[in-house]
Structure 1
Amino acid sequence: MTSSLGSSSTGSVNTVDKPVNTSGNGGRASWWRGHSELGICVLLLALGVLVLTDALSMPTDFTQRGPVGPKSVPVVVGSLLVLVAVLLARNVFRGGRGEAEGGEDVDLEASTDWRTVLLLSAAFLANAALIGTVGFPISSAILFWGACYALGSRNLVRDPLISAAVAVITWFLFNELLGVPLPGGPLMEVL
């Protein structure tokens, strides 16, 4: 870059020569780089529409007490997701940009730890794949233990025991106390 200082009758003028883009698609890439938050807007909008359509197609054949039924909370959540997506998109198009977090315990120069992300994703996918066959307590224990392992805990006795206890307690709370049926799997024949 070169800078030249010129003067005119109104005073001095600073000009900076900008490099010419010869790649052909650099304009589009730089536009997306400056508006990358639009990806979050699309994700929030899609999630909001999904929640709204699912909530509005929910059957209400069971007893409903008063005007607030099972559709109320999902409709509010879906509407708020759509509203946040629209407001965020408006902010991005008006030039707003998210600022990087500036805390003393955050290393802004550190790259993403893809190993941790992949291990957590594998634990969630294993839970989703196994919940129908082995039941909620076993698949959730695998999820909890996988999350512990992915986040750095290496205690091979304590972690599986705590994970199993949390999974069984969670199943019991939802299934027995709240009345939300979760698949018990073969472990429930033992308990």
Structure 2
Amino acid sequence: MNTWLKERSELGMCLVLAALGVLVLTDTLRMSTDFAQRGPVGPKAVPLVVGGLLLVVAVLLARDVLRGGRGEAEGGEDIDLAAPADWRTVLLLCGAFLANAALIGVVGFPISGAILFWGAAYALGSRNLVRDPLIAAGMSVLTFLIFNNLLGVPLPGGPLMEVF
């Protein structure tokens, strides 16, 4: 029995997909529709389709695995699968993300986003101390303006809110 499960380990992914599909469908069916609907498609349409498709994919994958189908082994072009994980990069990226999460309410998105973008660039190996912070600040301000002014998604502006 143990060997049978090891040879069909993809069934675990089927269970995850099925559980996610059931979760999406149950949350969608319990969703309140007290708000006004615009157009012929209501707010439940997309989650119902996504939840249903997750269940369909889970069933089709399980059927394929039980019929002997196997997933392909990882075969990246320039990836050395024997190399150890680069934990320094992972921790630096986590630090940049956590700094953004901690600072966004205090200093606003333009500043915390710049820290996030610069931190990600630094963690991934870029070491240009003039270009990187300028690009990070530009990307952060541009992202803030697009979301806040064009899309109508309010982001915390912090002290720079008076400028924009």
Normalising by the smaller structure, the TM-score range is 0.7 to 0.9
Mean alpha-carbon deviation: is it higher for 90-99 or for 132-141?
A: 90-99
C-alpha deviation, 1:148, in angstroms: 0.7
Provide the secondary structure at the position in 2 that maps to 1:156: coil
* Greater helix share, structure number: 2
> Are the counterparts in 2 of residues 136 and 171 from structure 1 also a CA contact under 8 Å?
yes
Residue 124 of structure 1: aligned partner:
97
- Aligned counterparts of 2:4 and 2:95: Cα–Cα separation in 1: 34
Residues 99-146 of structure 1, C-alpha deviation per residue, up to 9 Å, x if partnerless?
A: 233343232322222222222222222222322332222222222111
Distance 2:115 2:133 in 1: 8
SS at match of 1:155: coil
1:185 aligns with 2:148: no
* 2:78 alignment partner in structure 1: 105
Structure 1 gap segments, 5+ residues each? 1-26
Partner of 2:146: 173
Alignment counterpart, residue 164 of structure 1, candidates 137, 161, 164: 137
Q: Alpha-carbon deviation of 1:37?
A: 4.6
The one-letter code matched in structure 2 to 1:109 is A
Matches of 2:101 and 2:132 in 1, distance apart?
A: 20
Q: Does 1:61 align with 2:3?
A: no
Equivalences for residues 1-191 of structure 1 within 5 A: 37=10, 40-41=13-14, 44=17, 48=21, 51-52=24-25, 55=28, 57=31, 61-62=35-36, 64-89=37-62, 91-92=64-65, 96-191=69-164
Q: CA RMSD in A?
A: 3.1
Identity of aligned residues (%): 73
Structure 2 segments unaligned to the other structure (5+ residues): none
Higher RCO structure (Cα 8 Å, ≥6 apart): 2
**Which residue pairs with 1:8 in the alignment?**
none
Amino acid at match of 2:35: D
1:154 counterpart letter in structure 2? R
Cα pair distance change 1:170/1:100, threshold 3 Å? same
Find the residue that maps to 2:78 and give its secondary structure.
Answer: coil
Q: TM-score, normalised by structure 2?
A: 0.72
- Of the structure 1 ranges 123-132 and 85-94, higher mean CA displacement relative to structure 2 is found in 85-94
Give the deviation of 1:49 after TM superposition.
5.2
